Structure 1
């Protein structure tokens, strides 16, 4: 996404307020399908403006013809479109090597009246939007620190940081397009940047210049590391140097460069983003790509902020705030790149997931195998599985439950094929399900042996019963394996035995292919090489293997905390019942949750029935799934998808996180998959990092719009998961910009439902919007 930079411009054309949607095309060709898709997404959060303008370079072959010929397809998803009115106000502009804009005429396009007025506003507003929405204004949080500018003198609690905004190539090329007006190819031979963090802009500028020429020219790009490099005296700037300053609030750096480098004139230097925070610099204003200052012509600009000329005059220092020096090319508080990840068909992987899910699906919402929140207690450990596969139920009912017919056929075939005639031992892992599977295997094969040769059945704890003198083979049986630690332990323990090993696993469920391959390779390797031992699994599925602090353990802690703080009888009754429903699933008889996973639907002012899947879900391919699936079946399916994304090796489509990249679950998923139970599954299975929309203004805005609908229609299908959304906000698992959150809470200001009131009050307390006093009353 973001192959095009699309934004709205607002200005006065004479006395008339005018709005224009700008579509900047940064590439050297026009991708019609991609543009259609990005416009579709854009208009989910934006309204149709007075006119639409496409802008591209003159190097794009037949630019205007391609647009006019495909205009019906390109603008297919523009809302409430009236063809005649819309296309009468559709215009195509091209820019040349000097950055000059020219209208492209065509029989199907009308003249752009008011073009000159448009030119005055569209670039600066477009650049300001990039800067503001991508977090270019860095603000210190709290009072413990503030910033000391690179000059070493000025102090402030705000700082302009251009590196934060360079996230998308379309926006970087838009900045470079603006610089064409300042760069004269006959005058300059090299480009200097005040910090290497903006080198991408210089590279994009070089690329744009080459698109207009038949001869490739590479301009050397260097950095003088802001004031550090300038003060060192090592940087030699000449009259053929083109110099880019990332940002300035005074213009002092520009004046300093001219003073110390006599060959230079003001035309050699351009400041990308300028805020006339003090007395405006005339020289700086003439050589600015974008003036961020908020005014009538730039309504979404940056407000002037207070800065102090020195430490001695700094009120922040006097109050005890610590000044953080910003120097060179490194700024440790840099915000990471933000990506919104959209769940697609490849993530659902229906062919793999449904093969597994369909054969183990619940029957009329009961007799579930795929469960959540099972608490397994062993020697020295307590595991609380997010996702649990109840293999005991499978093996107990394998002959009587028709659901397991295909699994039984496969299991029996594998027993016949892979269990050798020289088998001496059947060793099972210590859990009950593994013991039951081992007993099943022994029962199937015992007719193949005379009574004196029937293999011995032993547990992992009885390993000492194995004789080193015995020759033959050993079958190691595991019911449902996640990481295979016990198998690796047994593999090492059997190295000095003469027995050939066959690992026989009912279901293997590692979290990714890498973990599976690692386990399989290590278990098979032995004295005679990579295929020394045999590894057999009847079924395989990749899914989450989280077993600490799963979503229901987190909810349990939350409920118990607020139960002690509340004196509201109705609320306390609900909290106690909810706690009981979570804790009751730990017994060996119940073995995990299959129903009541989520907070209930609110109806007629009261908490009522449970969330259920609707028909025609994209996540299931079985016709009658809606009649049978339990909540835990649905959760298993969604958790499978989220886990698959976390382990994706596609850097452009993954939920892997790093210090420099934050991949979030796109809010669009909550709109596309509007089943309340699907939304609840996404919220529960996702991590905090994957739902941290406070990182990005645009994603936070998208989420705000989606939640607005859910909150307003809370008693209808659209809002059936409102309690799950509020809970996620209350525990700060899902976060968004504070001004968006405040707006959402205002929608529920006079809410009567006691559970909604309860969660809203907690959210307000957590975000310090009210004092700490928990009960459900207003």
Structure 2
């Protein structure tokens, strides 16, 4: 559970240059490990920040001053936070205003005039986007509000209130409206009650003698006509969200109170000078439709343009949406879904043990690239020669390489290629030894990385070189850049090449689209197999299953799957899953004979990720429209190793075939065929299908799940994995049915 709300604040350059990582700890004090974890989690998603800003109540100031010196000496902390990163703290008072600011570590970073409101607005906007407060159904659907009007989209603040630390942050932004005489908080919906109680709790931390506040609800438009508010002048009215400002204006007029007594959390009203709100989202780019009409504009049923276009209605009562409008559709996986350049990547690096899985510190896994030294001659040779001719000059004083062996080998190769044309060979320096470079001896430098993901290691080098080289030229050479999104690579490029007088350069030899973050199928497998082994009785079947689990567990506990093998369960006859010729996403020049399982999952993960993130997406999920992988794809791509990669790389909601009876039946037939033909190529992935069911990553309707049968004579591991997976489904059903 997180102790803080973390978000990025790209402040105006005049106010605070660079990207600021804000860690807002509204309630709980933190420990060294908490701070490390929060920063490390942010690094998995974003580039390294220029500044870290702690936002805390002023009552924690002494605690921060006393604990930070020890934290700053912690080696684990220093590994993830470079010494040149500015760390500072802003302390707020009982009214949610910035009371004090102090620089804690790193370069001095003065806090400018009146920025705290901008910081709060940035945090609220982050929650708005992160939690999808703007509810937009998919094409062919629109909303019917409880009062009968229609709109294309809807603001649902309850979505923003799912995380305790985020609720506390929103509550902090509202503290200024809790005047001394306030004795009641009225809510337009009970779904934001947590917010009111968080406000009360924060205020009590500042002043335990504060009088108690009552909290009530008036049920928005439907309840306003009959609601009675004693002492409205001593009440604070919280409106979850307003699209036009109508409800807060009605309240102010009816109760004769000023706008400081009626506050909307989110407001999309274009004319809003006469109402109060904490976050203005009227200019949010997603609120305008393509024809320029506001997605939140409401229409009477007879005048609704969406109804005239035969759009279906998504009805809701109070805060609850009716589930019968959710659409589940399927998407095929086509050769054209592969990202640009995937054929070339496969041709260059498949069959060499380059791609595998690495276990992370949290127990998840991520795709890992391990480049052998032969790569630099056979795959990068021509490109490296061109780079040496173009970028290595007599002014090049140093080759700086990242600390991994592959980056060092790449630097040596580049140095050898350039040596014939140079009088003095540039000095090779590891990134960890940058402090040995003398500023007066450094001229132009080349920074070399064999393979990057987030690019944080390059950014570390870039920041340290600023002090050593000032504005002297730098060239960054990257062998493979595996990025989750094109925008991430663009952001990294902008950070690396930025310079006041001229731009540095970034040269990437190969780019690969790959999902960021962790993959969890292997962690779930480990737990499932452990529970399966524990459930087994004695006897030969039990011994067989426990031996199978023990061998598999050894592979799962490894920090790295060697040579990209043993990523998947074997076939039921204990043959490793292998690729046959004709893999659709590789060209004819790429042989399947020596392909590793790592090569296959890297390919499939890249294709699925491209289907989720390309300009025309095919796999997505909203509250009203979910795209599933078409069951027939497990027949089209019928190599067991490809099926296993699909099951592991897909998101669980993309395999939720229980949502539609026809899809569940179709998927059941595919799994049934694999079980029946367990000793043939068509049944290679039988255990992978059962594992996906047992861990909840693939779901069928209960009736279809329990129709599955293991044929007579099949191995004990197949029979008992099926039984245990079916028992897990029964347990879920039993939990969902209340006892009489």
TM category (shorter chain) comes to: 0.5 to 0.7
Match of 2:336 in 1: 346
CA deviation vs aligned residue, 1:285-309 (integer Å, no higher than 9, x gap): xxxxxxxxxxxxxxxxxxxxxxxxx
Indicate conservation of the 8 Å contact 2:481/2:512, yes or no.
Answer: yes
What's the Cα RMSD here? Answer: 3.8
Structure 2 residue ranges without an equivalent (≥5): 1-134, 154-218, 227-300, 303-315, 735-740
Alignment equivalent of 1:482, drawn from 440, 444, 453: 453
**Alpha carbons of structure 1 residues 471 and 670: separation in structure 2 relative to 1, 3 Å:** same
CA deviation vs aligned residue, 1:411-434 (integer Å, no higher than 9, x gap): 222222222321122111122221
2:567 counterpart of 1:597? yes
Match of 2:611 in 1: 645
Structure 1 residue ranges without an equivalent (≥5): 1-163, 174-190, 201-225, 234-268, 271-325, 773-778
Report SS of the residue matched to 2:509.
strand
Q: Distance in 2 between matches of 1:426 and 1:695?
A: 56
Match of 2:477 in 1: 504
In the TM superposition, what is the alpha-carbon distance from 1:701 to its structure 2 partner?
Answer: 3.1
Match of 2:669 in 1: 705
In the TM superposition, what is the alpha-carbon distance from 1:352 to its structure 2 partner?
Answer: 1.6
In the TM superposition, what is the alpha-carbon distance from 1:332 to its structure 2 partner?
Answer: 8.0
Instruction: Give runs of aligned pairs for residues 176-325 of structure 1, distance below 5 A.
Output: 195-196=148-149
TM superposition score normalised by structure 1: 0.51
CA deviation vs aligned residue, 1:369-424 (integer Å, no higher than 9, x gap): 22x22347xxxx68965322211x1x25644xxxx2x4312222222222232112
Alignment equivalent of 1:534, drawn from 505, 511, 522: 505
2:445 counterpart of 1:492? no
Instruction: Give runs of aligned pairs for residues 76-87 of structure 1, distance below 5 A.
Output: none
Match of 1:755 in 2: 717
Report SS of the residue matched to 2:635.
helix
Instruction: Give runs of aligned pairs for residues 46-57 of structure 1, distance below 5 A.
Output: none
Q: Distance in 1 between matches of 2:425 and 2:723?
A: 66
Match of 1:632 in 2: 598
CA deviation vs aligned residue, 1:44-72 (integer Å, no higher than 9, x gap): xxxxxxxxxxxxxxxxxxxxxxxxxxxxx
In the TM superposition, what is the alpha-carbon distance from 1:580 to its structure 2 partner?
Answer: 2.2
Report SS of the residue matched to 2:592.
helix
Q: Distance in 2 between matches of 1:468 and 1:338?
A: 61
Instruction: Give runs of aligned pairs for residues 708-719 of structure 1, distance below 5 A.
Output: 708-719=672-683
2:369 counterpart of 1:389? yes
CA deviation vs aligned residue, 1:81-104 (integer Å, no higher than 9, x gap): xxxxxxxxxxxxxxxxxxxxxxxx
Alignment equivalent of 1:724, drawn from 688, 692, 705: 688
Alignment equivalent of 1:517, drawn from 490, 497, 500: 490
**Alpha carbons of structure 1 residues 493 and 654: separation in structure 2 relative to 1, 3 Å:** farther
Match of 2:353 in 1: 368
Match of 1:764 in 2: 726
Indicate conservation of the 8 Å contact 1:374/1:388, yes or no.
Answer: yes
Indicate conservation of the 8 Å contact 2:678/2:714, yes or no.
Answer: no
Q: Distance in 2 between matches of 1:649 and 1:343?
A: 16
Alignment equivalent of 2:529, drawn from 543, 552, 559: 559
**Alpha carbons of structure 1 residues 770 and 431: separation in structure 2 relative to 1, 3 Å:** closer
CA deviation vs aligned residue, 1:195-253 (integer Å, no higher than 9, x gap): 457999xxxxxxxxxxxxxxxxxxxxxxxxx99869969xxxxxxxxxxxxxxxxxxxx
**Alpha carbons of structure 1 residues 335 and 438: separation in structure 2 relative to 1, 3 Å:** farther
Match of 1:357 in 2: 346
**Alpha carbons of structure 1 residues 460 and 382: separation in structure 2 relative to 1, 3 Å:** farther
Alignment equivalent of 1:569, drawn from 543, 554, 571: 543
Q: Distance in 2 between matches of 1:167 and 1:498?
A: 49
Q: Distance in 2 between matches of 1:704 and 1:490?
A: 53
Q: Distance in 1 between matches of 2:145 and 2:553?
A: 63
Alignment equivalent of 2:426, drawn from 450, 455, 461: 455
Indicate conservation of the 8 Å contact 1:692/1:734, yes or no.
Answer: yes
In the TM superposition, what is the alpha-carbon distance from 1:470 to its structure 2 partner?
Answer: 4.2
Q: Distance in 2 between matches of 1:199 and 1:725?
A: 40
Q: Distance in 2 between matches of 1:503 and 1:609?
A: 44
Indicate conservation of the 8 Å contact 2:359/2:558, yes or no.
Answer: no
In the TM superposition, what is the alpha-carbon distance from 1:633 to its structure 2 partner?
Answer: 1.9
Report SS of the residue matched to 1:387.
strand
Match of 1:314 in 2: none
Q: Distance in 1 between matches of 2:656 and 2:150?
A: 25
Q: Distance in 2 between matches of 1:575 and 1:232?
A: 65
Q: Distance in 1 between matches of 2:152 and 2:448?
A: 58
**Alpha carbons of structure 1 residues 361 and 770: separation in structure 2 relative to 1, 3 Å:** closer
Match of 2:555 in 1: 581
Report SS of the residue matched to 1:699.
helix
Larger radius of gyration: 1
Q: Distance in 2 between matches of 1:397 and 1:673?
A: 30
2:400 counterpart of 1:433? no
CA deviation vs aligned residue, 1:665-688 (integer Å, no higher than 9, x gap): 222221222222211110011122
TM superposition score normalised by structure 2: 0.54
Moved more, 435-444 or 513-522: 435-444
**Alpha carbons of structure 1 residues 343 and 565: separation in structure 2 relative to 1, 3 Å:** same
Indicate conservation of the 8 Å contact 2:674/2:683, yes or no.
Answer: yes
Indicate conservation of the 8 Å contact 2:705/2:726, yes or no.
Answer: no
**Alpha carbons of structure 1 residues 558 and 539: separation in structure 2 relative to 1, 3 Å:** same
Q: Distance in 2 between matches of 1:493 and 1:383?
A: 32
**Alpha carbons of structure 1 residues 771 and 619: separation in structure 2 relative to 1, 3 Å:** closer
Match of 1:472 in 2: 443
